[in-house]
């Protein structure tokens, strides 16, 4: 017998694909409802967070306004008006008091009614639609308050036309009720916060009437048919406009314990939502959040698409495997000839790889050479930066030592003169000042040495008056030599500021020197220094009566090496160094022109207690 042809029993790739397509359709039919329900429940869970925030906001408003009528009802002036309703002066006074109360409480209306329901006074007495003279005895909140308890009710205002929640409380005089005071707050603000996004919010009463909603077209629509009793009650109490109370066509399906599916007929067709509802027992409200099911349906279709795609990919893999197996014998027969062709191609590919390797070696060498040149260039840039910083610090040393050295020479000359005149006591005092100047130069040297790195001294409270007075004393010789008048406006209180004593003195001396330079050439040189203090900041203002600063230069006066002085008169580093010193103290140095002429430089420093602990100084800008 001949061997049967086994290939006739091998299924074709087309048959396998048809089988997997049928499987995908079956899985889709079974999985679609489950996936749809799963994503709808997820949408409902997202709505729970919105529902919780919405309920908390409504409860907060209810709790806020609930005690207010009782507190307002205790005012004696209300009882006086209820006993004398014809007193116009008393009525005007109560009207204004209720208006101010409504404004402070951010309530829509506050009004007082007698036991017949007639409104005697209201916060809306100035408005065109005032409550005064209107009777509200048909409102349930009025009758509840007359019975001696707290009245509450939600309704559309018959006077204002605004939806609001009413609280009412009796005004008692002795053992009897004289009248009722009511407070109303509107709900439009809540609806504004609900609008927008991919969800809707509705609040309905026990009758199923929607009185609050993020969708204005749903106002006064009912979620279920009203009974004749309910409709009569709405009409008697004038709770809602009866002609607008209509059924909102809807169908509700149970989705889970916490969620429902609702289908609402709209102009464009039926819209489906996943709902989450919470009941507010105090007000008798059902708060419902509606999440459209469109997103859940999209997620369901996407998940099913992925599942079908996975099934079809598996079918393709099986079909591919069967096809390859069917051709395996053909490939074995062609293997020998293919092997020879493969060996030839391997030789050619090996040669190509060798050439590529040579190119890679050459590229690696070029990159290493480029990295070496880059490191050399970086080293040169670092060296250039060091040389630039060294030049700046050298110029700063020369500038900062000129002032103390000039003072030392002046004190030394004075000491020689005093010794010649046998005034040893004064000469000893000058020598002591020279010693102090030497100490000051040592401190300045320390600060300048640390100028390019983080200072090691601590910022501590210093006396602003003492620092300023020492700076002025240091410049007395120059003031006398230049015939300049110094006007020092101090303050009675000696404020303490956060800073360094010597460095702050250094800044003030530099500003005074600049002011004296600017005042040169004027007929009567004047330099003003003023101390100003407020709760948190102290200011030192130094003003000259010179030509001022050009507007184009105001933004550059604190730049290093910027100066408007003649060559040889300054390096342009004083203001730059002073700016960085003040910044180290967490302060500011400002420059401006005075309206009456001249320039004004202001030092702003934070106030500090005299016994405040020292803190680490901030790194300067030059760090």
Residue 93: the pLDDT is 94
Proportion of the chain above pLDDT 90, given as a percent: 21
DSSP β-ladder status, 109-114 and 176-186: antiparallel
Residue pLDDT, tens place only, 525-561: 899 999 999 888 999 999 998 888 888 888 888 887 7
Q: What is the pLDDT of residues 86-103, one digit of tens each?
A: 999 999 999 999 999 999
pTM of this prediction exceeds 0.85: no
Query: Is residue 67 over pLDDT 90?
Result: yes
Q: Is 6 exposed, middle or buried (0-12, 13-18, 19+ CB in 10 A)?
A: exposed
List the single range of 7-11, 49-53, 590-594 with lowest mean pLDDT: 7-11
Is residue 209 within 8 A of residue 245, CB to CB? The reply is: yes
Q: Which residues lie below 8 Å from residue 576, measured CB to CB, with a gap of 6+?
A: 558, 559, 560, 561, 562
**What crossing angle do the helices spanning 335-420 and 424-449 adopt, rounded to 10°?**
180
Helices within 452-495 (DSSP H only): 464-474, 476-481
Mean of pLDDT over the chain = 82
Residue 471 has pLDDT above 90, yes or no: no
d(C-alpha 413, C-alpha 398), whole Å = 22
pLDDT of residue 570: 62
C-beta separation of 533 from 493 below 8 A: yes
Enumerate long-range contacts of 295-303, CB under 8 Å, 24 or more apart: 295/39, 295/43, 295/198, 296/36, 296/39, 296/40, 296/42, 296/43, 297/36, 297/39, 299/35, 299/39, 299/42, 300/32, 300/35, 300/36, 300/38, 300/39, 303/35, 303/39
- For the chain, the maximum distance between any two Cα atoms, rounded to a whole number of angstroms, is 150
pLDDT confidence band for 118 (50 / 70 / 90): very high
Q: Is the pLDDT of residue 447 over 70?
A: no
Name the CA dihedral angle for 189, 191, 196, 200, rounded to a multiple of 10 degrees: 160
pLDDT of residue 388: 43
Closest CA to 285 of 201, 221, 208, 191: 208
Is the pLDDT score of 131 beyond 70? yes
pLDDT band of residue 454 (cuts 50, 70, 90) is: very low
Provide mean pLDDT across the span 202-210: 87
Contact 464, 495 (CB under 8 A): yes
For the stretch 25-64, what's the b/e string if a residue is b when 16 or more beta carbons lie within 10 angstroms of its beta carbon?
eeebeebeeebbeebbbebbebbeebbeebbeebbebbee
pLDDT of 480 over the 60 cut: yes
Domain architecture of the chain: domains with CATH: 66-186 (3.30.450.20), 189-296 (3.30.450.20), 455-616 (3.30.565.10)
């Amino acid at each position: 017998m001949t061997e049967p042809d086994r290939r006739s029993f091998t299924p074709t790739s087309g048959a396998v694909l048809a089988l997997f397509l049928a499987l995908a359709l079956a899985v889709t039919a079974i999985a679609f409802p489950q996936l749809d329900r799963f994503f709808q429940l997820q949408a409902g869970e997202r709505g729970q967070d919105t529902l919780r925030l919405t309920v908390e906001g409504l409860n907060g408003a209810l709790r806020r306004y609930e005690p207010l009528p009782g507190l307002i009802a205790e005012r004696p002036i209300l009882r006086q008006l209820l006993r004398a309703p014809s007193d116009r002066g008393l009525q005007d006074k109560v009207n204004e008091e209720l208006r101010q109360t409504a404004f402070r409480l951010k309530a829509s209306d506050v009004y007082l009614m007698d036991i017949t329901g007639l409104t005697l006074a209201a916060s809306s007495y100035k408005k065109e639609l005032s409550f005064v003279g209107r009777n509200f005895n048909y409102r349930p909140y009025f009758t509840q308050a007359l019975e001696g308890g707290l009245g509450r009710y939600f309704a559309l205002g018959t006077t204002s036309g605004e939806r609001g929640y009413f609280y009412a409380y009796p005004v008692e005089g002795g053992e009897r009720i004289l009248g009722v005071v009511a407070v109303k707050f509107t709900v439009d603000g809540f609806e504004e916060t609900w609008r927008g996004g991919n969800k809707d919010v509705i609040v309905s009463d026990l009758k199923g009437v929607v009185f609050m909603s993020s969708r204005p077209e749903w106002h006064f629509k009912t979620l279920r048919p009203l009974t004749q009793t309910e409709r009569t009650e709405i009409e008697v109490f004038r709770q809602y406009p009866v002609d607008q109370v209509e059924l909102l066509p809807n169908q509700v399906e149970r989705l889970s314990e916490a969620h429902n599916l609702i289908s609402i007929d709209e102009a464009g067709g039926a819209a489906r939502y996943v709902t989450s509802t919470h009941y507010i027992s105090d007000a008798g409200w059902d708060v419902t959040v509606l999440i459209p099911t469109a997103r859940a349906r999209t997620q369901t279709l996407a998940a099913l698409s992925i599942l079908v795609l996975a099934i079809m990919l598996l079918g393709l893999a099986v079909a591919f495997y069967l096809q390859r197996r069917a051709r395996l014998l053909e490939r074995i027969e062609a293997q020998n000839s293919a092997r020879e062709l493969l060996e030839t191609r391997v030789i050619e590919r090996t040669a190509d790889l060798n050439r590529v390797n040579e190119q890679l070696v050459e590229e690696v060498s070029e990159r290493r050479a480029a990295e070496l040149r880059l490191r050399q260039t970086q080293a040169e840039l670092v060296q250039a930066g060091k040389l630039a910083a060294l030049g700046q610090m050298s110029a700063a040393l020369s500038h900062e030592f000129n002032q103390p050295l000039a003072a030392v020479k002046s004190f030394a000359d004075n000491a020689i003169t005093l010794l010649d005149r046998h005034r040893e006591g004064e000469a000893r005092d000058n020598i002591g000042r020279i010693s102090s100047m030497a100490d000051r130069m040592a401190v300045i040297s320390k600060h300048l040495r640390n100028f390019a790195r983080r200072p090691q001294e601590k910022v501590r409270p210093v006396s602003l008056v003492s620092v300023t007075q020492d700076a002025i004393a240091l410049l007395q010789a120059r003031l006398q030599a230049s015939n300049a008048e110094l006007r020092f406006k101090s303050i009675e209180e000696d404020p303490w500021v956060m800073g360094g004593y010597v460095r702050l003195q250094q800044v003030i001396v530099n500003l005074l020197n600049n002011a004296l330079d600017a005042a040169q050439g004027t007929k009567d040189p004047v330099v003003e220094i003023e101390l100003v203090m407020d709760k948190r900041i102290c200011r030192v203002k130094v003003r000259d009566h010179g030509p001022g600063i050009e507007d184009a230069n105001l933004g550059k006066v604190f730049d290093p090496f910027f100066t408007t002085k003649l060559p040889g008169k300054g390096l342009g580093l004083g203001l730059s160094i002073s700016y960085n010193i003040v910044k180290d103290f967490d302060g500011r140095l400002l420059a401006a022109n005075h309206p009456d002429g001249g320039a004004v430089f202001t030092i702003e420093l934070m106030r500090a207690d005299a016994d405040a602990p020292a803190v680490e100084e901030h790194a300067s800008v030059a760090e």
